[in-house]
Structure 1
Amino acid sequence: MEHPERTERTVPVERLQLGDHALMEAGDGESSWAVFTAYTRTSLARREKVLLVIDPDDLQDDEVVALLDQSGTGASAARASGQLALKRTPQMYLPDGRFRKERTIELYRAEVERAHEEGWAGLRVAADMGWAPRAGLAEEVLLDYEASVAPLFADPLFTAICWYDRQRFGRGLLDGVARLHPLRVAETSGTRADFVETLREAVAARQDTSRPTRITLDLRDLCFMEAHCAWQLISLAGSLPRGSEVTVHCGELLALVLRQLGADNAPQLVLDVLAEEGAAG
């Protein structure tokens, strides 16, 4: 069968809106979980339910929650309230050991309805697609499935990231999958050490213990910030002399994380918050 060509755009994971169907290609688990953490934190802040569909050999459920909690997502509380759900790929794609396209689509539609009935603003899914080569699924069957899920995204309550590991899928298949996803999630760039060192250098270059200092950071396009980096920002701002000011231009979600981690306790830190399209108000 022929598949329609679509214009693909690459966006930061926080910019995904309800109704978006996005592809994520990844080559290592660490960068993937950085994206999923940002995705989860964004979704929970918007009062949307999150469903992570994980490979059976990936982290255990408690390990997933602990990893998400390290970055200030509030995953433990969200799991307890039902806002965060974890499933393994066989539950959604191979419940009887066989893949059936229509059944899988209905399972996801039921999850959307359940999230709505529970009072959440929508459902966000991130699914590891590594089950397909394990099950010996033909590439044409997988592409047909990806083309067939489009009606799910006509419902403005549903968003999904399909995660394809480059080590498990060939380039030809990945190119075909990319044509069926209107969006691609941007990979995270930079490291914790790079961010912290740059921040310290900026503070050190302007700090004079006898005089207040003023620093401006434009983080409006920041895709992801680990809790450790956020704590470093708050701590370094709080260490500046009285009367100093570190102004951070950022989006609502990053501001929320900074405040949850104690930004209001550092009077030197000023958050200039830019409203984000689609964020809950």
Structure 2
Amino acid sequence: MTQHHGTTGRIIPVERLQPGDHSCMDVTDRASRWQVLTAFTRTGLARGEKVMLLLDPSDLNDEDAVACLDGGTGHMEAALKSGQFVLDRNTSAYLPDGRFSKERQVRDFAAEAERAREAGYPRLRGAGDMGWAPRAGVADDEVIDYEASLAELFADGYLTALCCYDRQQCGDPLVAATRTVHPLQVMECLGGLEVTRAPGGGRRIAGSAELGSREEFTRALREALGPRPGRGSSRYELDLTDLVYMEAHCAWQLLDLVAGLPRKDTAVVRCGPMPATALRGLGSADVPQLELHVADPQDTQDTGDTAEAEDVA
């Protein structure tokens, strides 16, 4: 579990990406990165979208990459043949003549989106390894300026993008700067947790609360729901909107900690339908300190705000 303080964009699991999202991901572990890329690719294909994957020349060769993404299903080969899935190298896409041009790149991606529309695809999603930039000698500020210039391509919600920055290749300054121009940051691994401190002492918990992250999840809850000095009632805030899975044990831990608060206190928990189902099944209605706000995940794709669809005391 990583606690982020002052992170510019929302930190979400890859499963929470929505049409129109322009996201970045810090890359450190190759195996974890491929798990995320696999989820990203399979999700797009399952939705009928066209999917582009731009790998670094030093990465897996095409055959191994397809095998990794496919997992023995045979779907990737079929998607390649149909043109729904495109596998290329970042040097070909970003440095076709050995140099980088921001204007040309924006035009090329806009043209790719238009071709996908004309072919009848409902959306286009693409993931690209950004390691080409430092290798080609492109300055950090030029990369950031390019990323910022892409905003107009995402305005109509047709394109979804994941820009992968390897810390070793790109360096910490560039990786940190990318968060200032990407509205969203995708978690580097599946099945993990990301905890962000929110204004007022609340917590935003994203990812998956399961066996492997159970201890971290419980610790985050204890910190968020800990005693507060002073008299009077306290109001605690927990934003679980970007939690894609919560096992029964973790849901029980949450209810148990809330039930242990003084009766005059209130714990406001915001989450999607899946965690809400787990909490209700374990008796959330019998915990008077709990104020449950259930949101449609689609309502949070643009901002960190939660559109409340239903309240359960």
Aligned residue in 1 for 2:260? none
Q: Which runs of 5+ in 1 are unaligned?
A: 192-197, 200-219, 224-248, 252-274
Match in the other structure for 2:32: 31
Q: How does 1:1-281 map to 2 (within 5 A)?
A: 7-70=8-71, 72=73, 74-189=75-190, 221-222=244-245, 277=298
Quote the offset at 1:71 in angstroms: 6.6
Structure 1 residues 213-256: Cα deviation after superposition (integer angstroms, max 9, x where no partner) = xxxxxxx8249xxxxxxxxxxxxxxxxxxxxxxxxx979xxxxx
CA gap of 1:222–1:36, structure 2 versus 1, over 3 A, is farther
Cα displacement (A) at 1:73: 7.7
SS at match of 1:221: strand
Give the secondary-structure state (helix, strand or coil) at the position aligned to 1:181.
coil
Give aligned-pair identity as a percent: 50
Amino acid at match of 1:29: R
Taking a change above 3 Å as real, the CA distance of residues 72 and 184 of structure 1, as seen in their structure-2 partners, is: farther
After superposition, the C-alpha distances for 1:58-103 in whole angstroms (9 at most, x for unaligned) are 1111211111111758211111111100111122111000100000
Question: 2:36, 2:190 within 8 Å by CA — same for their partners in 1?
Answer: no
Structure 1 length normalisation: TM-score? 0.66
Partner AA of 1:132 in structure 2: A
CA deviations on 1:4-38 (whole Å, 9 max, x unpaired) are x9941011111111110001001121111100000
Check conservation: 1:43, 1:124, Cα contact below 8 A.
Answer: yes
Deviations 1:125-182 (A, max 9, x none): 0000000010011111111111111111113110100000011122222121111000
The structure whose residues are more often strand, as a share, is: 2
Q: Residue type of the partner of 1:68?
A: L
- The one of the two structures with greater contact order (alpha-carbon pairs below 8 A, sep at least 6) is 1
Q: Distance in 2 between matches of 1:87 and 1:222?
A: 33
1:107-141 per-position Cα deviation (integer Å, ceiling 9, x unaligned): 11111111111111111000000000100111111
C-alpha spacing 1:73/1:187, structure 2 compared with 1 (3 Å):
farther
Q: What do the CA deviations read for 1:174-211 (whole angstroms, capped 9, x no partner)?
A: 121111000010122569xxxxxx79xxxxxxxxxxxx
Conservation of the 8 A alpha-carbon contact between 1:123 and 1:158: yes
SS of corresponding position for 1:149: helix
Q: Is the contact made by 1:37 and 1:73 (CA closer than 8 Å) also made in structure 2?
A: no
Cα distance in 1 for partners of 2:114, 2:23 equals: 21
Would the alpha carbon gap of residues 95 and 53 (structure 1) be closer, same or farther in structure 2, given more than 3 Å must change? same
Displaced runs of 4 or more, over 6 A: none
TM-score where L is the length of structure 2: 0.59
AA at the equivalent of 1:221: V
Question: Residue 46 of structure 1 aligns to which amino acid in structure 2?
Answer: R
Asked if the contact 2:110/2:153 (under 8 Å) is kept, the reply is yes
Counterpart CA distance in 1 for 2:163 and 2:190 is: 20
State whether residues 127 and 161 of structure 1, in contact with CA within 8 Å, keep that contact through their aligned partners in structure 2: yes
Do the aligned partners of residues 97 and 188 (structure 1) sit closer, same or farther apart at CA in structure 2, a change above 3 Å counting? same
- For these two proteins, the number of residue pairs brought into alignment is 202
Residue 121 of structure 1 aligns to a residue whose secondary structure is coil
Aligned to 1:202: none
**Contact 2:127–2:162 (8 Å) recurs in 1:** yes
CA distance in 1, matches of 2:171, 2:59: 21
Residue in 2 that maps onto 1:205:
none
1:71 and 1:153 mapped to 2: Cα distance?
33
SS at match of 2:48: coil
1:6/1:181 contact within 8 Å kept: no
